[in-house]
């Protein structure tokens, strides 16, 4: 797994397709990941068609990777298949609730990341689209996801046609705590973030956006309170629409 | 990443400790995983002490791995550090909402799985404890997790002292869909689950639990509607307690 040290998100892909045989091998091997009760509470929708990608693009703010990558994978938390199994076997499923959604989303995200590691190890490049949970309803419609299926991750996948610089990471002590959580002091924050803040590309970001600090780029532009609260409502509404907040209907 | 084909969850560990240097290397390398806005919205609490493990054990139904593994890792969705950074930099954070929790939980779970792949590649054995989200409050107390920090995964980690059989997996066609979701028919369900249902250990489970079908083991014993709904309430209450459902306070 040496690739992990040099991995970067890849947003530009060569014209080369991904052979179904390779994709299926990676999707099969990723399923060795641990899963709750061995139930595999996830599903993957593979989008290769031009029309399929065009239908997904708006939900991802029309980021060009969606239409340019040979393959788009939408990974879903899925309690549908397991519930159908139960119904076919004289068993009464009870998975229309927040805990079951969280269990299935966990399964789906662990599966997703093993797939990423396997795909990158095989030389593929990919980009994880965090937009999946920003506007889930158009994705649910485009992929015809029924109740108890909910998209939690999207990957655009292809053969790399770029080699962007490695992105920075915080020092280990900023995110690893011994025995109990150490709440960071202002001095800790200075130590953790000084390298990130000093990077020329980040200073340039601050300058061109006419902000005072790098943190303001995140709070005022990229991930604002207003957007987060609006999209939280949309996320909860979509979860309800897919039947995952059943216990809250009263 | 050849290990993936033969991986199994490991619940019994040799007496050998995990050197801090090795653990720190794995925790550092896992941080190369993609992360939202490069913010690394996670933290890891390392528990090595006997008292620390004893404090966590009840939240995990006293599964013996918790006290027997040399290392227990609790991986948390964390918007605390990022919010503290903002506050120290004249920026106003807005991450006390469901979307931000989901963003951070996603980051944390992707990080968790790369750590798992790296650790297993290095010969370590581990078990993912799904119990983390069943009773989050005792874990939050034991690890002194402040607001905007929420446990989403626990790993017990050690050197393997067992080699259990590989668990079964569903066929690829059961969880991979082309272009749009194919809702499984009863005939599909028979095809997907027949191998699992025919396995001698599963038939034995059904017999000793005096059930008619394997699915009933899940719906009636392991993951019941009643438990799921009770724990959903606890999960949502814990999220509110940690400040992640701020927009719902009205």
The residue assigned the tokens 């519930």 is A83
- The answer to whether A187 faces chain B, any CB pair under 8 Å, is no
Q: What percent of chain A has pLDDT over 90?
A: 97
Q: What pLDDT score was predicted for residue B38?
A: 96
Please give the residue of chain B at the shortest CA–CA distance from A50. Answer: B179
Angle CA(B190)–CA(B191)–CA(B196) in degrees, nearest 5? 80
Q: Which residues of chain B have pLDDT under 50?
A: 247-250
Can you give the residue ranges of every domain in chain B?
Answer: 2-164
Q: Is the dihedral of CA A133, A138, A142, A148 positive or negative?
A: positive
The residue assigned the tokens 């009863």 is B186
Q: Which of A53, A243, A129, A20 is nearest to B180 (CA)?
A: A53
**CB < 8 Å & 24+ apart, contacts of A180-184:** A180/B45, A180/B52, A180/B142, A180/B143, A180/B144, A181/B43, A181/B45, A181/B76, A181/B143, A181/B144, A181/B145, A181/B146, A181/B149, A183/B80, A183/B84, A183/B146, A184/B80, A184/B81, A184/B84
- The answer to whether A52 faces chain B, any CB pair under 8 Å, is yes
- The answer to whether B130 faces chain A, any CB pair under 8 Å, is yes
Q: What pLDDT score was predicted for residue B246?
A: 76
Q: How far is A47 from chain B (nearest CA, A)?
A: 5
ipTM over 0.90: yes
- The answer to whether B179 faces chain A, any CB pair under 8 Å, is yes
Residues from chain B contacting residue A4 (CB–CB below 8 Å):
29-30, 32-33, 114, 118
Q: What pLDDT score was predicted for residue B249?
A: 44
Q: How far is B207 from chain A (nearest CA, A)?
A: 15
Residues from chain A contacting residue B4 (CB–CB below 8 Å):
29-30, 32-33, 114, 118
Q: Distances from the Cα of B42 to the Cαs of A176, A177, B103, in angstroms? A: 9, 11, 10
Q: Distances from the Cα of A14 to the Cαs of A10, A11, A68, A117, in angstroms? A: 11, 10, 9, 20
Q: Report, as an integer, the average pLDDT of A190-219.
A: 97
Tokens matching residue B159: 């050197």
**pLDDT digits over A78-132, tens only?**
999 999 999 999 999 999 999 999 999 999 999 999 999 999 999 999 999 999 9
Residues from chain B contacting residue A181 (CB–CB below 8 Å):
43, 45, 76, 143-146, 149
What's the gap between Cα B197 and its chain centre?
26
- The answer to whether A191 faces chain B, any CB pair under 8 Å, is no
Say if domain A2-164 classifies as CATH 3.40.50.12780. no
Q: How many CB atoms lie within 10 A of CB A5?
A: 10
Q: Which of A43, A89, A99 sits opposite B235 (nearest CB)?
A: A99
Please give the residue of chain A at the shortest CA–CA distance from B228. Answer: A99
- The answer to whether A201 faces chain B, any CB pair under 8 Å, is no
Please give the residue of chain B at the shortest CA–CA distance from A49. Answer: B179
Q: Residue A41: is its pLDDT beyond 50?
A: yes
Please give the residue of chain B at the shortest CA–CA distance from A185. Answer: B84
- The answer to whether A1 faces chain B, any CB pair under 8 Å, is yes
Please give the residue of chain B at the shortest CA–CA distance from A25. Answer: B172
Left, alpha or beta for B74 (phi > 0: left; psi -120 to 50: alpha)? beta
Q: What pLDDT score was predicted for residue B219?
A: 98
Beta strands in chain A, from DSSP E residues, in sequence order: 42-47, 71-78, 125-129, 149-158, 176-178
What's the gap between Cα B41 and its chain centre?
16
Residue A1 pLDDT class (50, 70, 90 cuts): confident
Q: Which of B45, B117, B175 sits opposite A181 (nearest CB)?
A: B45
- The answer to whether B242 faces chain A, any CB pair under 8 Å, is no
Q: What pLDDT score was predicted for residue B119?
A: 98
Task: Give the contacts of A80 (CB within 8 A, at least 6 positions apart).
Answer: A43, A146, A147, A148, A149, B183, B184
- Euclidean distance between CA atoms B179 and A156, whole angstroms: 14
Q: What is the DSSP letter of A164?
A: P
Residue A248 pLDDT class (50, 70, 90 cuts): very low
- The answer to whether A88 faces chain B, any CB pair under 8 Å, is yes
Residue A2 pLDDT class (50, 70, 90 cuts): confident
Angle CA(A246)–CA(B242)–CA(A193) in degrees, nearest 5? 125
Q: Is the dihedral of CA B17, B21, B24, B30 positive or negative?
A: negative
- Interfacial B residues in 56-75 facing A (CB < 8 Å): none
Q: How far is B136 from chain A (nearest CA, A)?
A: 12
Q: Higher model confidence: residue A247 or residue A81?
A: A81
Residues from chain A contacting residue B27 (CB–CB below 8 Å):
172, 176
* Residues constituting chain B: 250
Q: Higher model confidence: residue A21 or residue A246?
A: A21
Q: Higher model confidence: residue A2 or residue A42?
A: A42
3-class DSSP assignment, residue A143: coil
Task: Give the contacts of A19 (CB within 8 A, at least 6 positions apart).
Answer: none
> Starting at the edge strand that comes first in sequence, how are the strands of the sheet with A125-129 ordered?
A125-129, A149-158, A71-78, A42-47, B176-178
Residues from chain B contacting residue A115 (CB–CB below 8 Å):
none
For residue A155, the cross-strand partners are: A73, A128
Q: Distances from the Cα of B169 to the Cαs of A84, A187, B241, in angstroms? A: 17, 49, 37
- Give the CA diameter of chain B: 64
- Give the CA diameter of chain A: 64
């Amino acid at each position: 797994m040496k690739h992990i040290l040099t991995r970067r998100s890849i947003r530009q892909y060569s014209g080369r397709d991904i052979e179904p045989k390779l994709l299926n091998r990676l999707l099969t091997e990723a399923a060795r990941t641990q899963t709750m009760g061995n139930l595999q509470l996830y599903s993957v929708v593979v989008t290769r068609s031009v029309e399929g990608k065009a239908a997904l693009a708006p939900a991802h703010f029309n980021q060009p990777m969606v239409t340019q990558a040979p393959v788009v994978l939408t990974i879903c938390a899925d309690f549908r298949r397991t519930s159908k199994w139960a119904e076919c076997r004289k068993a009464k499923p009870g998975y229309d609730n927040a805990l079951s959604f969280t269990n299935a989303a966990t399964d789906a995200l662990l599966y997703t990341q093993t797939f990423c590691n396997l795909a990158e190890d095989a030389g593929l490049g990919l980009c994880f689209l965090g937009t999946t949970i920003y506007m889930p309803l158009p994705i649910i419609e485009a992929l015809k996801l029924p109740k108890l299926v909910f998209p939690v991750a999207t990957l655009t996948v292809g053969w790399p046609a770029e080699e962007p610089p490695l992105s920075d990471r915080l020092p280990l002590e900023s995110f690893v705590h011994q025995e109990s959580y150490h709440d960071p002091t202002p001095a800790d924050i200075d130590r953790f973030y000084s390298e990130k803040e000093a990077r020329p590309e980040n200073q340039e970001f601050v300058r061109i956006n006419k902000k005072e600090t790098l943190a303001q780029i995140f709070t005022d532009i990229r991930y604002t309170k207003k957007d987060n609260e609006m999209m939280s409502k949309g996320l909860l509404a979509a979860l309800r629409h897919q039947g995952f907040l059943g216990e809250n209907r009263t």
